[in-house]
């Protein structure tokens, strides 16, 4: 069975580091962390004092007041990012039945869920009338599909921190297989609530205790203490290469390969030897028909937790060789946006392909000697034309790798 080549023709984001792909790229190029003091809630004595929050977000101009009131903050971010991606692509170049949307989220409507619990009486939450559709994970996909007449598949995936990457990869599969001609795909999450952040803190995952919040997220650094939670959304428009070329669309990159595996090991810890991560990356390369030597850059999951950094570095070294491929960890700038992370980093990887640059990793002052990887620091590094691999590894052992390439390289 023949398959269609799939390309990215539109991109949109909402992150603490910027609300356009260009703004996020500038923050990454300057290694300018978006981490700052927590302002979205005030709980005396709260042990977590840093996050990557989106300041002054206003969905006006995208959603009517009524629509916004019926959508959780996560779905609002998703809609705005998706709308920008669709505009960037020049619209959805297919009839309603040939359009699709795939979203990824770990938490769904977490802000709405927590607000209902906080307004409790005698231990019972006080949900608003629209509480149920607002907290459902598919709310973002529903909002996008209704606004843009998407009559084909409308799907939502939830694989924790790999959700956004899985959404982009599975969306590419829909186009490849001819199920849809154009797909809006991405991830979104707003996990910055007291309960969610306290839970992550008690799990030992969050960075605390840095005098300068901007220095808190330090992937692959010997002085790292964990990750910084963030919120955000990112979406891309995927379509067939032939269709994009026929209409003269700008193409950022081709989704040339996609890998997804499971560690089948532990609820929160990755496989100690990085077996699942390595096989996931290898699957993406095999899918694209390229060798490890052809990959010019790896966009790492890079959370800044000891286990993730060591295991991912081990997997990269096993596949590519020690220090053989430039590595970047964008979460040092954007924070860890959980279900949105893989989609945000797919946008970053596509920009790396388009710009021919690997952005630096912020806050890396002393590479952990156990991590035998070539982490880009200081300034962007010039890359030869070639494929870029973007990794997302999640709680539960869910792994996703996307291989993005310049059109014409394969």
Residue 2 pLDDT: 60
336 is catalytic: yes
Determine which one of 166, 188, 297, 336 is catalytic. Answer: 336
Fold of 257-405: Peroxisomal Thiolase; Chain A, domain 1 (3.40.47)
Report the SS3 class of residue 23: helix
Condensed to tens digits (0 to 9), the pLDDT of residues 40-75 reads 898 889 999 999 999 999 999 999 999 999 999 999
Q: Name the CATH superfamily, with its identifier, for domain 6-246.
A: Thiolase/Chalcone synthase (3.40.47.10)
Report the SS3 class of residue 9: strand
161 is catalytic: yes
The size of the chain, in residues, is 410
Domains 6-246 and 257-405 share a fold: yes
Q: Is the pLDDT of residue 409 over 60?
A: no
Q: Where are the domains of the chain?
A: 6-246, 257-405
| Mean pLDDT confidence for 246-264 | 96
Backbone angles phi, psi at 399, to 5 degrees: -120, 140
pLDDT > 70 in the chain, percent: 97
Determine which one of 161, 217, 280, 371 is catalytic. Answer: 161
Residue 410 pLDDT: 47
301 is catalytic: yes
* Greatest mean pLDDT range, 129-138, 261-270, 345-354: 345-354
Condensed to tens digits (0 to 9), the pLDDT of residues 77-110 reads 999 999 999 999 999 999 999 999 999 999 999 9
SS3 content of the chain, % helix, strand, coil (to 5): 35, 20, 40
Q: What's the chain's average pLDDT? A: 94
Determine which one of 217, 301, 371, 398 is catalytic. Answer: 301
């Amino acid at each position: 069975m023949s398959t269609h080549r799939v390309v990215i023709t539109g991109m949109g984001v909402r992150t603490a580091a910027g609300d356009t792909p260009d703004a996020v790229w500038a923050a990454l190029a300057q290694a300018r962390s978006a981490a700052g003091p927590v302002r979205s809630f005030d709980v005396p004595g709260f042990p977590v004092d840093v996050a990557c929050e989106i300041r002054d977000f206003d969905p006006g101009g995208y959603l009517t007041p009524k629509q916004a009131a019926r959508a959780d903050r996560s779905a609002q971010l998703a809609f705005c990012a998706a709308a920008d991606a669709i505009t960037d692509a020049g619209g959805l170049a297919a009839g309603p039945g040939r359009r699709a949307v795939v979203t990824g989220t770990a938490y769904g409507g977490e802000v709405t869920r927590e607000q209902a619990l906080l307004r409790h009486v005698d231990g019972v939450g006080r949900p608003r009338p629209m509480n149920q559709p607002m907290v459902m994970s598919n709310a973002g996909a529903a909002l996008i599909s209704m606004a843009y007449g998407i009559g084909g598949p409308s799907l939502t995936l939830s694989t924790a921190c790999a959700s956004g990457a899985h959404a982009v990869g599975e969306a590419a599969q829909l186009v490849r297989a001819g199920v849809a001609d154009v797909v809006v795909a991405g991830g979104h999450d707003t996990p910055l609530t007291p309960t969610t952040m306290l839970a992550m803190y008690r799990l030992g995952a969050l960075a605390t205790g840095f005098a300068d919040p901007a220095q808190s997220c330090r992937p692959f650094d010997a002085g790292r203490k964990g990750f910084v939670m963030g919120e955000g959304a990112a979406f891309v428009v995927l379509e067939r290469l032939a269709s994009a070329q026929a209409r003269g669309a700008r193409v950022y990159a081709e989704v040339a390969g996609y890998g997804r595996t499971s560690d089948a090991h532990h609820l929160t810890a990755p496989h100690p030897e990085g077996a699942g991560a390595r096989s996931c990356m290898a699957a993406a390369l095999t899918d694209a028909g390229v060798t490890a030597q052809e990959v010019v850059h790896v966009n790492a999951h890079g959370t800044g937790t000891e286990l993730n950094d060591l295991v991912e570095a081990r997997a990269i070294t096993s596949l590519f060789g020690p220090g053989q491929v430039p590595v970047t960890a964008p979460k040092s700038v954007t924070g860890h946006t959980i279900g949105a992370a893989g989609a945000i980093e797919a946008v970053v990887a596509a920009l790396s392909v388009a710009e021919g640059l690997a952005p630096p990793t912020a806050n890396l002052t002393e590479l952990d000697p156990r991590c035998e990887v070539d982490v880009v620091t200081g300034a962007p590094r010039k890359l030869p034309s070639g494929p870029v691999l973007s990794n997302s590894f999640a709680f539960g052992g869910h792994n996703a790798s996307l291989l993005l390439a310049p059109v014409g390289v394969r």
